[in-house]
Amino acid sequence: MGRLAIQKRDGRKQDDVVKGRADWSRPNKGENPVTTPNITTPYHLLGDMTEDLARRRGDAPAFTTILPNGMSATLSFQEVEDRSNAFAAFLRGELGVQPGERIMVLMPNGLAYPIVAFGTFKAGCILVNVNPLYTAAEISYVVKDAEPSVVVVLDMIADRLEAALQGLPYPTVIIASVAECFSWPRKLLISLVQKHIRSEIPRHSLDSMSFASVLRDGAALITNGAERAAHAATLSPETIACLQYTGGTTGVSKGAMLSHYNLLMNVAQFMSSAAYDVNEEDVMLTVLPLYHIFAFTVNLLGLFSVGGRNILIPNPRPLGNLRSAFKHLPITLMTGVNPLFRGLVNEAWFRDAPPPSLRLSWAGGTALQVDVARDWEDCVGSPVIEGYGLTEASPVVTFNPVPRPKPGSIGVALPDTEVKCVDENDHDVPCGTAGELVLRGPQVMLGYWRQKEETAHALRGGWLHTGDLATMDEEGYFTLIDRLKDMILVSGFNVYPSEIEAVLSRCPGVVECCVVGVPDPIAGEVPKAFVVRSTSLVNEEKIRHWCRRELASYKLPRHVEFRESLPKSMLGKVLRKDLRGSVAAK
């Protein structure tokens, strides 16, 4: 096994590239970076996974979805293979889709999702993951940009899709339900409750077909001799597999083009290093939505590749919805974000009976606060390990080695990933100095869909520029500071909102907080804190007094606004842009 390498020009400055190696968990400074790949993948294309796992694991459970009342359904590896083949056969044989056409998915976690994803890959098409919480306007933007031939949508949001499609070329619409792949009695019961008791299924006028009928007709095509490999035969590993929409480094929504090779290599990189002996006996709680690139790569593709079992949670809010999964299933792994880990340890039912089989948790998406990581390990008896990634890198770039993590750090570079920090002129900065995190490796996207200028800007010089500020220490561990665009310039001094937020979050009575820069006639910009508090005893004076203990005077929040809640994404990430917008609107 090799070592993580750090090459130096002198005693103070990086070369300034850190490249992960196969012996990823044991950094050793002073060794030259490797020049040959360490990581390989056994698969040519993403669709190859299901055939291999069906052969190896067959009747073993691959995906289970469980509802808050404990009702559940499961797909075996063989069923994933058969049903994804049926979906692909329908796309090719019935709808006549061609390689490279886009299939949009608007669904939360459920058993239909892996069938659609793998079926899309097998058909030679491009999967377009879209957040089902998007507004009609946001969905419409993606439809215009991606021009999907087919949209698979959850019945609970079909009306929103209908509004989004007004005035646009009409794709084929396939409607799925939360109860997809449940037994018929349970599916009927769930449908009756949703329609007639909870009124969760809206009326719509979409010209559509049901997901169940698509699988039935696709299976019939295969029975009648449809060629299953015809479209995939024209593909290469460099073929686009996914359009993953992201704000990227400039804030404009763009489709990151991720190839089969990008995703397969990132799975191999993660599973060979950060996964730490994950195997087919593992059961992973999949709370994060599969349309998000972290869960897509690590949960859907990663755990599936080793034959483990994913437990899909359709809706994690409120957190009590997770209780049945923890109670009835032997959860050994989970992925999450900082608000999820914080929220669970504050739930009495979880704290009083933490899952005894949980051996490892991974955090991504948002910064993991040190106190949250400590409280989690105290509660469950096993660690939560932080890493870093972004959509444009499929997404995983760095992770803390399980045997030797550094609290507060995002870890070291994954194998075959080169990472460094640079200044505004793309010059390397010394160890310990803040700079923009840039990287290159096999997981880096092909570019942005139909956006040459944005692609050239993000990939300038052959490096993916992340827009994130970070530092690197002498052992090759990176620490994330903040987004470049979130940095506040106070009288010429750089102020990082995350630093203020870390201090504020430790203040007794502060439940949540977020800091943004607001205009100031004297300083140019000053910090403003938005705070959710548990008691009115927490006032502006107490906030400032608490911050003075750890922060220089120019970093103190000049303004404090108390709110009942903060705007959040589906992952629980506070939407800083919305708070900025509320300031600008005043």
Structure tokens at 237: 């590993």
Query: Is 132's pLDDT higher than 60?
Result: yes
- Work out the pLDDT band at 498, boundaries 50, 70, 90: confident
Structure tokens at 66: 């469980």
Rounded CA gap, 413 and 429, in Å? 17
**pLDDT score of 570:** 67
**pLDDT score of 198:** 86
**pLDDT score of 481:** 87
Instruction: Find tokens 């220490």 and name the residue.
Output: 473
* Helix, strand or coil, per DSSP, at residue 320: helix
CATH number, domain of 524, equals 3.30.300.30
Residue with the bigger pLDDT between 578 and 21: it is: 578
**pLDDT score of 8:** 28
Element (H, E) at 75: strand 72-76
pLDDT mean across residues, the chain: 89
Query: Is 36's pLDDT higher than 60?
Result: no
Query: Is 98's pLDDT higher than 70?
Result: yes
Among 201, 219, 235, residue at a domain's last position: 235
Q: What's the structural domain count of the chain?
A: 2
Ranges 207-211, 231-235, 316-320, 489-493, most confident: 207-211
Residue 296 lies in a domain: no
Residue with the bigger pLDDT between 143 and 195: it is: 143
- Mean pLDDT on 66-92: 96
Determine how β-strand 208-210 pairs with β-strand 172-176: parallel
Query: Is 15's pLDDT higher than 60?
Result: no
Q: Which amino acid is at 93?
A: G
Rounded CA gap, 105 and 149, in Å? 11
Percent of the chain residues past pLDDT 70, beyond the cut:
91
Q: Strands of 384-389's sheet, edge to edge?
A: 72-76, 61-66, 309-312, 283-286, 333-336, 360-363, 384-389, 396-399, 412-413
- Mean pLDDT on 549-565: 92
Residue 307 lies in a domain: no
Low-confidence winner among 22-31, 394-403, 526-535, 542-551 (lowest mean pLDDT): 22-31
Residue 130 lies in a domain: yes
pLDDT in tens, 388-410: 999 999 999 999 998 899 998 99
- Mean pLDDT on 480-504: 85
Rounded CA gap, 29 and 7, in Å? 7
Residue with the bigger pLDDT between 368 and 377: it is: 377
CATH number, domain of 89, equals 3.40.50.980
Among 235, 252, 283, residue at a domain's last position: 235
Query: Is 31's pLDDT higher than 60?
Result: no
Query: Is 562's pLDDT higher than 70?
Result: yes
Residue with the bigger pLDDT between 120 and 485: it is: 120
Query: Is 17's pLDDT higher than 70?
Result: no
- Work out the pLDDT band at 306, boundaries 50, 70, 90: very high
**pLDDT score of 227:** 78
The answer to whether the Cα torsion of 501, 502, 505, 506 is positive or negative is: negative
Among 235, 263, 292, residue at a domain's last position: 235
Cis-peptide, bond into residue 318, ω within 30° of zero: yes
- Mean pLDDT on 490-511: 88
Residue 546 lies in a domain: yes
**pLDDT score of 568:** 84
Query: Is 366's pLDDT higher than 80?
Result: no
Residue 88 lies in a domain: yes
- Work out the pLDDT band at 578, boundaries 50, 70, 90: confident
**pLDDT score of 399:** 95
Residue with the bigger pLDDT between 223 and 369: it is: 223
SS3 content of the chain, % helix, strand, coil (to 5): 35, 25, 40
Determine how β-strand 102-106 pairs with β-strand 150-154: parallel
Query: Is 4's pLDDT higher than 70?
Result: no
**pLDDT score of 462:** 96
**pLDDT score of 274:** 87
**pLDDT score of 561:** 95
Domain that holds residue 105: 77-235
Rounded CA gap, 192 and 200, in Å? 10
Percent of the chain residues past pLDDT 90, beyond the cut:
72
